[in-house]
Chain A
């Protein structure tokens, strides 16, 4: 573990050092490029006055709810599409067309329709997550070896047994690949929604910092977002370690 962490640590420390040196000697004013130290003190202050934990919590809830609904719908729809060619033929033009509309562009519409509260952000997030998970679910389920269906059918297995003992484990590698993309996109979805209009959340904090020339606060919000994205990424990686160990090599 320490062996793997050391290079990461060195890279972070050198990044901070370079950043520090630039702000120190380049003469760029603090409100354009704040020093690492001023970002750190701003961070401590934001933790202290509870604003950062509060807004992070809001964004996290939006992300998790959006991710959950997006993944849930994508998995169910993806499975049905993978199993039924005719359903796929009927639905795929709409699905492809829906992908031609950038979610970012309809985000303002969604906020108008669903209000500036949490709901509109959850929906934007779910929409952004939906497609990559859907596609990977379809690809994963289609790739299940026919020979394993033969095996299960020769044992007179039920549909549910085939689902849980063959289709789920066999499609999991591709599915988790989709989830990895979806998890990263979910952070973008929530922020896009908040930037359109919100009273709370990290996107709101970001915009507030921007209006008030509180650039260190903007940095704090951005780093928190990065941390959220990394955390989600890490969770997917953990799932892969846990469930795909058989695949290694």
Chain B
């Protein structure tokens, strides 16, 4: 990964106005992300992880500091929010199709692609269901399918697997690794799970308590593809321990 970075973040701070001089959520964050890198962000609740993703997605502006994408142009983004964030009036199929509608893809091709995604996340038979009829985990899988369908350059994932059961979660890990490798994507993923981050990431950033600063930038040099039993290796154990110590 000697390429020029696809994303350069410099001295990024975010302060939210409150009646007490402002609430500092992120403090002087700097790091680079390289093309096709899988970065996980760990940190205690309130350390500004979601805020960081929202800044990168262009939803809010940082209070100070800057971030720049490699070619100067805004990459296409697939985002999974902390809540599933589905449109209650759209069926599963139509929720997943949304990003393709936004880029005006013809609806037949869009349906075919959406059907593939539905199979990927294991929701066959629920194509015409409405969000109100889905469990939390199913809704989250719809959100994941929606984030992937338009083949975005950059995936921003905010605890995408938090509401899934262990079995589905591990299947999604494998699928996400596969998609990430096959489609050459750059991923920034927020998680609370050390296992999850070591299973997926090339690099794990640990943020401090609010205001979030980068406390640890850990390279995860575990061989790929990572199988389930990798967590029993001693190297995995060493990395996990470093992360646990950084998080406290």
- Pick from B81, B87, B132: contact of A166, CB under 8 Å: B87
In the complex, the answer to whether B130 meets A246 with C-beta atoms within 8 Å is yes
Residue from A155, A161, A166 with most neighbouring chain B CB atoms (10 Å): A155
In the complex, the answer to whether A246 meets B89 with C-beta atoms within 8 Å is yes
A166 to B59, CA, bound (A): 17
Q: What is the interface size of chain A, counting residues whose CB is below 8 A from a CB of the partner?
A: 18
Chain A positions 131 through 150: 1 when the CB is less than 8 Å from some CB of chain B, otherwise 0: 00000000000000001101
Measured between beta carbons, the chain B residues less than 8 angstroms from A147 are 81, 83, 85
Measured between beta carbons, the chain B residues less than 8 angstroms from A148 are 85, 87
In the complex, the answer to whether A155 meets B98 with C-beta atoms within 8 Å is yes
Interface band, chain B:
20 to 34
State whether the Cβ of A89 lies closer than 8 Å to any Cβ in chain B. Answer: no
Q: How many A-B residue pairs have CB under 8 A?
A: 53
A153 to B77, CA, bound (A): 10
State whether the Cβ of A24 lies closer than 8 Å to any Cβ in chain B. Answer: no
In the complex, the answer to whether A156 meets B79 with C-beta atoms within 8 Å is no
A222 to B: closest C-beta gap in Å: 39
B148 to A: closest C-beta gap in Å: 13
B104 — nearest CB in chain A belongs to which residue?
A161
In the complex, the answer to whether B99 meets A169 with C-beta atoms within 8 Å is no
Which label, helix, strand, loop or mixed, suits the secondary structure of the B interface?
loop
State whether the Cβ of B74 lies closer than 8 Å to any Cβ in chain A. Answer: yes
B100 — nearest CB in chain A belongs to which residue?
A155
Measured between beta carbons, the chain A residues less than 8 angstroms from B124 are none
Measured between beta carbons, the chain B residues less than 8 angstroms from A151 are 79, 81, 85, 98
- Pick from B85, B102, B130: contact of A161, CB under 8 Å: B102
State whether the Cβ of A50 lies closer than 8 Å to any Cβ in chain B. Answer: no
In the complex, the answer to whether B59 meets A157 with C-beta atoms within 8 Å is no
- A150-B54 contact, Cβ under 8 Å, with A155-B99, A157-B102: yes
State whether the Cβ of B57 lies closer than 8 Å to any Cβ in chain A. Answer: yes
In the complex, the answer to whether B77 meets A150 with C-beta atoms within 8 Å is no
State whether the Cβ of B76 lies closer than 8 Å to any Cβ in chain A. Answer: yes
State whether the Cβ of B237 lies closer than 8 Å to any Cβ in chain A. Answer: no
A41 to B: closest C-beta gap in Å: 50
Chain A residues in the interface with B (C-beta under 8 A): 147-148, 150-157, 161, 165-166, 169-170, 246-247, 249
